[in-house]
Chain A
Amino acid sequence: MWVYEKKLQYPVRVSKCNPMLAKFLIEQYGGADGELAAALRYLNQRYSIPDKVVGLLTDIGTEEFAHLEMIATMVYKLTKDATPDEMREAGLGDHYANHDNALFYHNAAGAPWTATYIQAKGDPIADLYEDIAAEEKARATYQWIINMSDDPDLNDGLSFLREREVVHSQRFREAVEILKEERDRKKIF
């Protein structure tokens, strides 16, 4: 089971009310390479992959939920007291018409999250290569958002999240090596 902790993984700060940045950021909430897709992808792959890498998928999948909460916190802070007019001016009129200031699992262009964003091929190598690609795509998405953001506090949190993708990719690459390893032969460091 999972147990919730009343604490963010990283102290998220946002300098100013800016719904426009929230519109971009929602890509990492409900987009193809976002944190929801990441969490569900890894946790779902656990059931059909060799035991040696189940721990890693569990732990990275769980961390992704912590990242999802960080993104939600950023969006919440960027839009909390934004008026309907401010939402519309930021390009969030379509969102507001359906959701008011509520968060929703869709991407920056408003397309709702779909399970087709994630794969589960059942082949351990195919699945881990998918995971490595997913981490690189998430890293790239953070870069594109940082490129458009002029909020230093927000970028601080986004830089943290981007670096986590680098570490996750590293671990998935190591998981591939574990599965490649010849049985009975020891790893040489």
Chain B
Amino acid sequence: MANPKQMPDEFYQWMKQLQEIDFVLVELTLYLDTHPEDYDSIKQFNEFAEKGMRLRQKIEKKYGPLMQYGQSYSGYPWNWDDPPWPWQM
């Protein structure tokens, strides 16, 4: 039996970029939880939130939804449960 679809290098590269942006956002989130009045960090947070949204849209358009419950659009047929799942990557 043939191995199901393998993702191209581009997918892995884009996911890594998304992990980088989202990691900055995780760090800034925890930081802002204890520094709620740091204006510059809030600006940086919003810039990265924007960047992350744009990249997420680009990835999802080509490779399918990253989130569900309506946080991402679906392709046809329903492609949410297409592999690879994160642990299979």
Contact = CB atoms under 8 A, between A and B. Distances in A.
Taking the complex as a whole, does A directly touch B, i.e. does some CB pair lie under 8 Å apart?
yes
Interface of A: 3-12, 53, 55-56, 59-60, 63, 69, 72-73, 76-77, 167-168, 171, 174-175, 178
Given A59-B33, A175-B34, A9 B26 contact: yes
A11 B33 CA distance: 26
B8 interface: no
B29 A8 contact: no
Nearest to B35: A174
B49 interface: no
A171 B33 contact: yes
B68 interface: yes
A8 B87 CA distance: 8
Nearest to A60: B30
Interface residues of B, number: 24
B89 A8 contact: yes
A60 B85 CA distance: 23
B18 interface: yes
Contacts of A175: 34
Given A9-B19, A11-B16, A73 B30 contact: no
A29 to B, nearest CB: 13
A8 B26 contact: no
Contact of A5 (B30, B31, B67, B89): B67
A6 B86 contact: yes
B87 A7 contact: no
B1 to A, nearest CB: 16
A73 B33 contact: no
A160 B22 CA distance: 15
Nearest to B59: A7
A139 to B, nearest CB: 16
